[in-house]
């Protein structure tokens, strides 16, 4: 996915960009409203992450302009103020969601997903492997015209495998991707989720293979 991050704090922006890139997203960064306008003029983004306090204006003005121009790109506001009044004001101005600093990237990811899912008519975010299609937006896998719904963690786990078929992922890596820091999870949990996914994938062309001592990988049956 392609993100536009509008944030004036260079250290925070740098860290967020790096973190999003680690998940394989493309990120452009603007540190002013003017810069953001320039970015929007030349590129299409899947999602905009917007800080409210910027050196050349209020992020809310950008939000209003953005909505008036009838741009469809969803905007998630990143705010440092958790004042209840601010929150409602933001949603009224046309933000699709907001997240409070400091944020958990798994939560940010979840919110992005929810925002994209809510948007009607958005192009389906699909990856396919061995005749099996993973629809991230709808949260389902489809083969032979038959769809199976996935729960959130199952979907996120399967996304990791579908994005890099054949690559071996260690349990530790999968845990990092799957659980937020507030969760107390053991490596057994990964085994549980892999077990569930295997059940879901029964009958399809794809399978999760255990690589002894290494981890798991996605292979064609």
Partner 1 sequence: MKVQGSIRRRLFFQLGGIAALLSLAFFLTLRVVAENTAEATQDSILAASATAIADSLRSDNGSVSLELPYSALSMLGTVSEDRVFYHVVVSGNSLTGYADLPPPSAPPRPGSPVFDTYDYRGDEVRSVSVMRPVGSAAQSTNVVVTVAQTRLGLEATSQRITTTATGVGVGFFLLATALSLWAASSALAPIDRMTAAVTRRGPKDLRPVTAETPAELVPLVDALNSFMARLRTSLGRSEDFIAEAAHRVRTPLATVRTQAEVTHRKLNKPEHKKAIREMIRAIDESARSAGQMLDHAMVTFRADSLARDDLDLVVLMTETCDRLVPTADLKDIAIRTDFGNDPIPFQGDGILLQAALQNILDNAIKYSPEDSNISATIKVGETIRISFTDQGRGFGDTDMSRVTTRYQRGANVGDIVGSGLGLTIADEVARAHGGGIEISHNNEGIGACVCLYLPR
Q: Which spans of this chain sit near partner 1 (rule: CB under 8 A)?
A: 9, 11-12, 15-16, 18-19, 22, 53, 78, 80-85, 87-88, 97, 100-107, 110-111, 113-114, 151-153, 172, 176, 180-184
CB of 80 or CB of 214, closer to partner 1: 80
Contact 218, 161 (CB under 8 A): yes
Q: Which residue has the tokens 């399809």?
A: 204
Contact 211, 217 (CB under 8 A): yes
CB of 144 to partner 1, least distance (A): 27
CB of 142 or CB of 175, closer to partner 1: 175
List Cβ neighbours of 183 (8 Å cut-off, separation of 6 or more): none
CB of 90 or CB of 206, closer to partner 1: 90
d(CA 99, CA 78) in angstroms, rounded, equals: 5
Cα atoms in the 13 Å half-sphere on the side-chain side of 108: 23
CB of 18 or CB of 61, closer to partner 1: 18
CB of 40 to partner 1, least distance (A): 24
């Amino acid at each position: 996915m392609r993100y536009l991050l509008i944030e004036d704090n260079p250290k925070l922006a740098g860290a967020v960009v790096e973190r999003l890139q680690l998940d394989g997203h493309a990120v452009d960064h603007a540190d002013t409203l003017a810069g953001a306008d320039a970015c929007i003029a030349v590129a299409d983004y899947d999602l905009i992450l917007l800080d409210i306090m910027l050196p050349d204006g209020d992020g809310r003005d950008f939000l209003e302009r953005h909505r008036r121009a009838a741009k469809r790109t969803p905007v998630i506001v990143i705010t440092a103020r958790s004042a209840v009044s601010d929150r409602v004001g933001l949603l009224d101005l046309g933000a699709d969601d907001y997240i409070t600093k400091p944020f958990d990237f798994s939560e940010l990811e979840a919110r992005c997903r929810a925002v994209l899912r809510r948007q009607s008519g958005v192009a389906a975010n699909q990856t396919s492997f061995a005749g099996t299609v993973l629809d991230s937006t709808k949260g389902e896998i489809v083969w032979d015209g038959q769809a199976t719904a996935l729960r959130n963690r199952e979907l996120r786990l399967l996304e990791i495998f579908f994005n890099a078929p054949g690559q071996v992922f260690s349990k530790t890596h999968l845990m990092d991707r799957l659980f937020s820091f507030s969760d107390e999870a053991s490596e057994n949990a990964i085994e549980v989720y892999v077990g569930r996914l295997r059940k879901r994938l029964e009958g399809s062309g794809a399978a999760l293979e255990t690589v002894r001592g290494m981890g798991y990988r996605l292979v064609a049956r």
